[in-house]
């Protein structure tokens, strides 16, 4: 996504803290990184810190939630071969497990008496017995 080049005096849409709604504003100051700092409302003439339009925030909230880092999905075929998780169980990298709380997951890494398992909600470190 390309960064916008804002200019002092330019007209933009922003949320007015005095009017409590989206209105046309004029940029008063910019931050050192080039982003908008202060704006002036064209309706009430109030000067305040820039706030994104509420309509823009609603659009962002309506987007599909991102998959968490390290999250892994398990196919139906893999789920049929899944082992039930137990702290005394012996697992290896690539094994598919069923956890009572976290659901299905896949073993990603083995550590001393522990394994990292990728679940839909993200990775978890679980206790296990090594081979």
Model confidence over 29-87: pLDDT tens digits?
999 888 899 999 999 999 999 998 887 655 665 666 665 666 777 888 888 999 999 99
Q: Give the span between the Cα atoms of 9 and 14, in whole angstroms.
A: 14
pTM of this prediction? 0.48
47 neighbors 39 (Cβ within 8 angstroms)? yes
Residues with Cβ within 8 Å of 6's Cβ and at least 6 positions away in sequence, in order, are 12, 27, 30, 34, 35, 36
The residue extents of the domains of the chain are 11-61, 76-127
């Amino acid at each position: 996504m390309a960064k916008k080049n804002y200019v002092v005096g330019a007209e933009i849409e922003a949320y007015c803290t005095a009017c409590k709604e989206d209105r046309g504003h004029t940029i008063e100051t910019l931050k050192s990184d080039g982003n908008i700092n202060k704006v002036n409302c064209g309706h009430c003439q109030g000067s305040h810190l820039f706030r994104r339009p509420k309509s823009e925030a609603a659009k962002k909230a309506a987007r599909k939630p991102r998959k968490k880092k390290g999250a892994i999905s398990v196919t139906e075929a893999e789920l049929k071969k899944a082992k039930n998780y137990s702290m005394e169980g012996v697992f290896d990298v690539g094994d598919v497990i069923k956890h009572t709380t976290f659901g299905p997951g896949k073993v990603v890494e083995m550590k001393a008496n522990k394994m990292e398992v990728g679940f839909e909600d993200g990775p978890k470190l679980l206790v296990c017995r090594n081979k």
